[in-house]
Amino acid sequence: MRRAARSFPVLIVLVALAAPAGAGAAGVVSSNWAGYVVQPAAANRLRSVSGTWVEPAVTCTRGQASYSAVWVGLGGYSQNAKGLEQIGTDSDCTASGRPVYSAWVELLPAAPTGLSLKVRPGDRVTASVTVIGPDATLGLHNLTSGARAARRVRVKAKDVSSAEWIVEAPSACSAAGGECQTLPLADFGTVAFTSATATLGPSTAAIPSGPWAATSLQLQGMSQPRSEGRTRGPAGPAALVLATPSRSSAADGSFTVAYSERRGAQPQEGPTLPGFTGGPPS
């Protein structure tokens, strides 16, 4: 596993996204996150977050490693964030063109650790993070296979100021932890989230329906240059890569995140947010 990224956002860019956001949700560009974030008033702190998704099948190309992570989490979305408690899965491509699927848990600023829970494309996975006092309970349940994994840990630097449902381009950092870069995003197709809810005090609500501000995030980055033999499209230069969230349902918070590419375009400037730093074996 790679070292956890330490860079926290200092700039939020508001833009008109390519797809409609949820009711009352602002639109934000990020270089590595796509999905939704909710933030209650400063005096309030979230207690838990949960969501269900279908594990995507990545499209891989020999000679081009790429990465994608799907997760839910608490914290990490502010300039003064102390940490991020998150759990999820990744769908990645090795340099040989082999797809790799796995599950993990990460509590920044610590590095991620793997979970002994198998996931396959098409599996329905539900995840949750609950923080009470200094303790965090993180759970993942493969609804298709019935397998479960959970961790309960003492959080050294907790952050419960926000809740997230995210598809991410993971990061890689130097051995010293100082230099970090966003890895190429894998072509994950579409990720469908359902039952996307968070708990504030005694009340649980879906993304657009709770007592918080909801923000939709569109990932904008650049692909690797296409090479001969790539399964989609001709060889050519790098393209603008987008991961775009749909409108979030007021009933259960459900939404999708869709991968797409555009030729001859450049990404808008957006923050690189903290998050998952794992990936497949070399």
Model confidence pLDDT, tens digit, residues 52-67: 999 999 999 999 899 9
- The mean-pLDDT minimum among 119-133, 162-176, 204-218 falls in 162-176
Average pLDDT on 171-175 reads: 74
Band of residue 126 on the pLDDT scale cut at 50, 70, 90: very high
Whole-number percent of the chain with pLDDT over 90: 62
Query: According to the model, what pLDDT value does residue 44 have?
Result: 86
Is the model more confident about 114 or about 179? 114
Residues in the chain: 282
Q: Which is nearest to 202 in space by CA: 194, 191, 210? A: 210
Q: Is 140 helix (H, G, I), strand (E, B) or coil?
A: strand
Number of continuous H segments (helices) and E segments (strands) in the chain = 0, 19
- The mean-pLDDT minimum among 188-192, 229-233, 238-242 falls in 229-233
Alpha-carbon dihedral of residues 102, 106, 112, 118, nearest 10 degrees?
Answer: -20
Band of residue 231 on the pLDDT scale cut at 50, 70, 90: very low
* Dihedral sign from CA coordinates of 186, 74, 27, 192: positive
* pLDDT single digits (tens) 243-253: 999 999 999 99
- The mean-pLDDT minimum among 42-46, 99-103, 115-119, 201-205 falls in 42-46
Q: Which is nearest to 195 in space by CA: 70, 91, 88, 72? A: 72
Query: According to the model, what pLDDT value does residue 239 have?
Result: 83
Average pLDDT on 138-166 reads: 95
φ and ψ of 275, to 5 deg: 175, -160
Bond preceding residue 109 cis, omega within 30 of 0: yes
Query: According to the model, what pLDDT value does residue 245 have?
Result: 97
Average pLDDT on 197-224 reads: 93
Band of residue 163 on the pLDDT scale cut at 50, 70, 90: very high
Band of residue 27 on the pLDDT scale cut at 50, 70, 90: confident
Domain chopping of the chain, boundaries: 13-262
Band of residue 80 on the pLDDT scale cut at 50, 70, 90: low
Q: Decide if 70 contacts 203 (C-beta within 8 A).
A: no
pLDDT reading at 6 higher than 50:
no
Specify the CATH class of 13-262 in words. mainly beta
Q: Which is nearest to 48 in space by CA: 56, 58, 40? A: 40
pLDDT reading at 21 higher than 80:
no
CA distance 152 to 128: 12
